[in-house]
Amino acid sequence: VEVDLTGQVNAEQAGSHYLGGTGGQVDFVRAGHRSPGGCSIIAFAATARHGSVSRICAQLSGPVTTARSEVDVVITEHGAAELRAQPLRERARRLIAIAHPDFREGLEREAHTLFQRGY
């Protein structure tokens, strides 16, 4: 699982390696939205490959499994980012805050570059 700075989720591919279909993730997200008072929650460890790769990234390395408009909350061991109804820059700020501390500075630089290009 990886999440980009706008809240899009890739749960199908890691780099060039296909991991599998969407499974029940899309169903789970949609059920959260349809439940009275519910929301969608994406939870995962902030890093992969023994801490060498951030799962929060500037841009996805694979397809979009879950659109940013369907992601309400993202949780890592570093906190929770409430994304519902937030503009893209605020989403990025909140996601960087829950990324592993070793990757935050780099993500801030990448966010600055993305938003300068009009992302």
Per-residue pLDDT of the chain (119 residues; tens, 9 = 90+): 899 999 999 988 777 776 766 667 888 898 998 999 999 999 999 999 999 999 999 999 989 999 999 999 999 999 999 999 999 999 999 999 999 999 999 999 999 999 998 76
DSSP 99: S
Domain boundaries, the chain: 2-116
Write the CA distances from 92 to 4, 20, 27, integer angstroms: 8, 27, 25
pTM of the model: 0.92
Contact 63, 17 (CB under 8 A): no
How far apart are alpha carbons 53 and 86 in whole angstroms? 26
In the numeric block, the tokens 């909140």 are attached to 94
Kindly indicate whether the domain formed by 2-116 is annotated with CATH number 3.30.300.30: no
How far apart are alpha carbons 3 and 14 in whole angstroms? 12
> Given this model, what pLDDT does residue 21 score?
65
